[in-house]
């Protein structure tokens, strides 16, 4: 799989710039398919360009750190459960969603959508 991804990326980069003529950076989410030292996508691309710099997405790392910290705080777990219940309550009924919008309008509040909390790995 990593070899196929590396070939695809190399072909894509070759179309837009000369891969061997430029130092480039590769950003990733830390998946082993990407960062594997011997067979990862980055290793395959580094064979083509030894100046390649590998960077873990800072936003992904920040999210993982925040998630770990939140899992240690009991009241945040309760807060997250309440948010999920609210989402379920409103998202399962068009009539409830309309009532929420009417309440927001009557209180001169901005019309905000209730979004589902989606966990990442």
Is pTM, for the whole model, over 0.85?
Answer: no
Contacts 24+ apart (CB under 8 A), 118-121: 119/67, 120/63, 120/67
- Length of the chain in terms of residues written: 121
Tens digit of each residue's pLDDT (9 = 90 or more) over 96-114? 999 989 998 999 888 888 8
- What crossing angle do the helices spanning 74-91 and 94-106 adopt, rounded to 10°? 110
pLDDT digits (tens, 9 = 90+) for 29-70: 666 666 666 777 777 777 777 777 777 777 777 888 888 888
Chain CA centroid to CA 57, Å = 9
């Amino acid at each position: 799989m990593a070899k196929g991804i590396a070939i695809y990326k190399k072909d894509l980069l070759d179309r837009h710039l000369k891969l061997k003529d430029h130092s480039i950076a590769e950003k990733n989410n830390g998946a082993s398919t990407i960062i594997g030292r011997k067979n990862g996508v980055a290793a395959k691309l580094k064979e083509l360009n030894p100046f390649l710099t590998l960077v873990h997405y800072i936003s992904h790392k920040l999210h993982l750190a925040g998630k770990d910290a939140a899992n240690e705080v009991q009241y945040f777990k309760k807060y997250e459960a309440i948010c999920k219940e609210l989402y379920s309550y409103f998202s399962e009924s068009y009539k409830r969603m309309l009532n929420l919008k009417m309440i927001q309008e009557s209180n001169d509040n901005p019309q905000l959508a209730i979004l589902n909390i989606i966990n990442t790995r």
